Amino acid sequence: MNRKQTRHSADERRADHPVTREVEALRLRIQALEKSEVERRRVEEALRQSQESTHRLAKENEIIAKIGRIIGSSLNIEEVYEQFAREAHRLIPFDRIAVNLIHPDPDTITVTYISGMEIDGLHVGDVIPLKSSILEKILHSRRGVLIQPQSEQGLEKRYPFIKIVFRAGLRSILSVALIFRDQVIGALHLRSKKTKAYTESDLRLAERIADQIAGAVANAQLFLQCKYAEGTLKKRSQELKIKSHNLKEVNTTLKVLLRQREEDIVEVEKRVLTNLQELVWPYLERLNNARLNPLQNNYLNILANNLQNIVSPFLNKLKSRHRNLTSREIQIVNLIQQGKTTKEVAAALNLSSRGVEFHRHNIRAKMGLKNRKANLSSFLSSLP
């Protein structure tokens, strides 16, 4: 037997030795235990991670639900924005949070709310262009945006408006859409000074927050618009009341002035008529009864007609009320109104008494005095 065969035979005898077998069995058991421990630790780690994930999810759901209660607790959302911001910070840390809404003018954005770090040129109430903004990208894609630039280079072409944010020292930019009734109404913006502060998980979480507040934000905007419209309507109503009051005062003043003017006109008319009756007509009657040549008689008629025009206000009123009176009837009415008798009227107009009576009968009929006992002279004197 050679040396090699002798050594192999010795190894077989040792392998068959009881101690050797026990050592091998022990070694296998140790390997199995080590493998079992690794598996146990893996299971424990997976369980721990699952528990942490469950706990984190429960906490997130609790905070998001609380955000929903806060944001929906008042139609005046400005009263609850700060509480909302504190709860949102528990979920996603930030150095600045903002809510921007698309302005009624679709080409602009209104900065509605800001909390945290201030940036020059971006304050509450500012109206900024929609073009080249993050919200414009969100409006088209309806998806959130996560920007974490290392430098300002590259922002000029993609997001030129973000340069203001970057220069202010904010390095992580997260923006998600506010969608109400399937329409993008604005965006929720989270900003951090830390580089790469946000992950895709944070983006999804921010979208959940945005979904929770979008309806309340839209209703709050509608509330503010209604409140503004109500204020405007109230203001205009007050202005109209003042104008109406002033107009009433003006109308009252005008009525007083018009009444006074009418009274003055009536007084002047009466004075003129009285003067004519007392100072002019008697002499005209004397001239009319005198023997005048045709030329003098013509002059007298012209003078009488001109004087008749002076008392025309009464005649104009008479014509406007009784348009069916003839010229002769108007002449007779004028003389009767002056107190002339039938005989005097006949003499003044070169008519017979029967002719004047005929005209008086027609005048009474046209004035609605037919079959009435009213005196024509008294009736004419009572006319204003």
* Whether residue 200 sits in one domain with residue 184: yes
- Collapse the DSSP code of 168 into the 3-class scheme (helix H, G, I; strand E, B; otherwise coil) and give the result: coil
Of the pLDDT bands very low, low, confident and very high (cuts 50, 70, 90), residue 19 is: low
What is the per-residue pLDDT across 20-56, written as a single tens digit (0 to 9) for each?
777 777 777 777 777 777 777 777 777 776 666 667 6
* Whether residue 30 sits in one domain with residue 141: no
What is the per-residue pLDDT across 180-216, written as a single tens digit (0 to 9) for each?
888 888 999 999 999 999 999 999 999 988 888 888 7
> Tell me, what's the pLDDT at 280?
79
Q: Is residue 142 part of a domain?
A: yes
Q: Is residue 114 part of a domain?
A: yes
Where do we find the tokens 């009968």?
361
Cα–Cα distance measured from residue 142 to residue 283, given in angstroms and rounded to the nearest whole number: 104
Q: Is residue 9 part of a domain?
A: no
* Whether residue 78 sits in one domain with residue 47: no
> Tell me, what's the pLDDT at 172?
92
> Tell me, what's the pLDDT at 46?
72
Distances (CA, A) of 342 to 245, 300, 330, 333, 353: 55, 21, 14, 11, 6
Q: Is residue 186 part of a domain?
A: yes
**Residue 57's domain spans which residues?**
14-64
Count of CB atoms situated within 10 Å of the CB of 171:
19
What's the average model confidence in pLDDT over 129-136? 84
Return the structure tokens found at 255: 């009525």
Q: Helices 3-15 & 18-71, crossing angle to 10 degrees?
A: 60
> Tell me, what's the pLDDT at 299?
74
Could you tell me which residue, 26 or 257, shows the higher pLDDT? 257
* Whether residue 347 sits in one domain with residue 313: yes
pLDDT at 123 over 80: yes
Last residue of a domain, one of 176, 207, 231: 231
* Whether residue 210 sits in one domain with residue 284: no
Q: How many separate domains does the chain show?
A: 3
Distance of CA 34 to the CA centre of its chain: 76
* Whether residue 20 sits in one domain with residue 89: no
* DSSP H helices in the chain: 3-15, 18-71, 81-91, 134-141, 155-158, 162-167, 200-275, 281-289, 294-310, 312-321, 327-337, 342-349, 353-366, 376-382
* Whether residue 190 sits in one domain with residue 112: yes
Distances (CA, A) of 359 to 367, 378, 380: 12, 17, 15
**CATH number of the CATH domain containing 311:** 1.10.10.10
> Tell me, what's the pLDDT at 198?
94
Return the structure tokens found at 20: 């050797």
pLDDT at 3 over 80: no
pLDDT at 321 over 60: yes
Q: Is residue 6 part of a domain?
A: no
> Tell me, what's the pLDDT at 348?
75
Please answer whether residues 166 and 155 qualify as being in contact, where contact means their C-beta atoms are separated by less than 8 angstroms: yes
> Tell me, what's the pLDDT at 2?
53
**CATH number of the CATH domain containing 140:** 3.30.450.40
Of the pLDDT bands very low, low, confident and very high (cuts 50, 70, 90), residue 10 is: low
* Whether residue 100 sits in one domain with residue 29: no
Q: Is residue 160 part of a domain?
A: yes
> Tell me, what's the pLDDT at 25?
75
pLDDT at 179 over 80: yes
For residue 182, give the H/E element and its range.
none
* Whether residue 302 sits in one domain with residue 188: no
What's the average model confidence in pLDDT over 94-114? 86
What's the average model confidence in pLDDT over 143-152? 85
> Tell me, what's the pLDDT at 320?
66
Q: Is residue 157 part of a domain?
A: yes
Of the pLDDT bands very low, low, confident and very high (cuts 50, 70, 90), residue 290 is: confident
**What do you get for the CA distance between the two ends of the chain, in Å?**
168
* Whether residue 79 sits in one domain with residue 179: yes
> Tell me, what's the pLDDT at 306?
66
Query: What share of the chain in percent tops pLDDT 70?
Result: 83
* Whether residue 80 sits in one domain with residue 50: no
* Whether residue 284 sits in one domain with residue 142: no
Cα–Cα distance measured from residue 330 to residue 338, given in angstroms and rounded to the nearest whole number: 12
Q: Is residue 252 part of a domain?
A: no
